[in-house]
Amino acid sequence: MLIVSDVHGASEALRRVASMGEPLLVLGDLINYIDYRSNDGIVADVSGRELVDEFVRIRGSEGHEAASEMWHRHWEGRETELRERYRIVTEEAYRDVCGALRGCEAYVTYGNVDRPRMLAEYLPEGSRFVDGEVVTIGGVRVGFAGGGMPQIDTPGEVSESEMAAKLANLGPVDVLATHVPPAVPALACDVIGGREKGSVAILDYVERMQPPFHYFGDIHQPRASTWRIGSTTCVNTGYFRATGRAIRHG
C-alpha cells in the first residue's frame, strides 16, 4: 500500500505512482492554489502573479491574518465574477490530477485546499472518495478523516468538533489516515511558515485508540517527519509535489 499527500497538481508524478500496481491512499490537497516556492498555481492563473506576490509577501512579513484581510479585499464587489472564474480553472485542475489515478485502486480524502464535492465528482472509476469511514485494504483496517484546520474559510476546512465526530465513527483501526497532523508541535508546525496547524481531536483519538500507524500530510516542511505517540508511529507523507515520492506501508 502506497501513501501520498499534498499532491498540489503534480499529475505526472502521481500518474507514475498510480501505475505501480499497488493500492494508493491520497491524503488530500490534490490541486495547487499557490506553490509558495514559485508563487505559481490557480490563484496566479486567475487573479494574477502580482497579487500572489503581494499576498505571499504580506503573509511572510505581517502574518496570516493580514494576508487573509488582503485576500478578502481582493474579492469585495467581484464575488460572482471571481467565483465563476475560479470554478472553471479548479474543475480543469481536478480533471487533470484525478485523471492521473485512472486504472489505479485509489482511496482519496480531501485537504484544506480541496473542494470535496468537486474532488469526488472527478475521481475516475476504481478510485473511491473516503471520509469518516473505515476501509479494509489487503486485510488492513484504514480509517479516513479528511479536511484541514480552519484558516481562511475554504471548502476543505473542518472544525475540531467536526473532526472529532468523524473520528468517533471509526472505532479501532490499524491505520489512521488524515490530511491534518495531530497537535504535536514537531509534526504540526511548518518551519517556513511557522504556524501550527495540528488537530487536538486527532491527537486525542491517537492517544485513546493507539492505532499502530497514523499517516498524514498538510505540513510541507515539518520539524520532524516521524514521531511516536505511545505505541503509534506517526508519519508525514508529504510534500508530494516537491518529492514525487510515495510512502510504502507494509
Percent of the chain at pLDDT > 90 equals 86
Average pLDDT of every residue of the chain: 94
Q: CB neighbours of 94 closer than 8 A, spacing ≥ 6?
A: 30, 31, 115, 118, 119, 121, 122
pLDDT of residue 194: 60
For residues 179-198, give the mean pLDDT.
87
For residues 121-127, give the mean pLDDT.
97
Phi-psi region of 213 (alpha: psi -120 to 50; beta: other; left: phi over 0): beta
pLDDT of residue 193: 61
Q: Which of 172, 148, 144 is nearest to 231 (CA)?
A: 172
Q: How confident is the model at residue 151 (pLDDT cuts 50, 70, 90)?
A: confident
- The mean-pLDDT minimum among 8-22, 31-45, 84-98, 174-188 falls in 31-45
Domains of the chain: 2-32+105-248 (3.60.21.10)
What sign does the dihedral 37-159-101-245 (CA atoms) show? positive
pLDDT of residue 37: 85
For residues 36-44, give the mean pLDDT.
91
Q: What is the pLDDT of residues 5-29, one digit of tens each?
A: 999 999 999 999 999 999 999 999 9
CA distances from 220 to 24, 92, 104, 240 (A): 20, 24, 25, 9
CB atoms within 10 A of CB 231: 9
Q: Is the pLDDT of residue 233 over 80?
A: yes
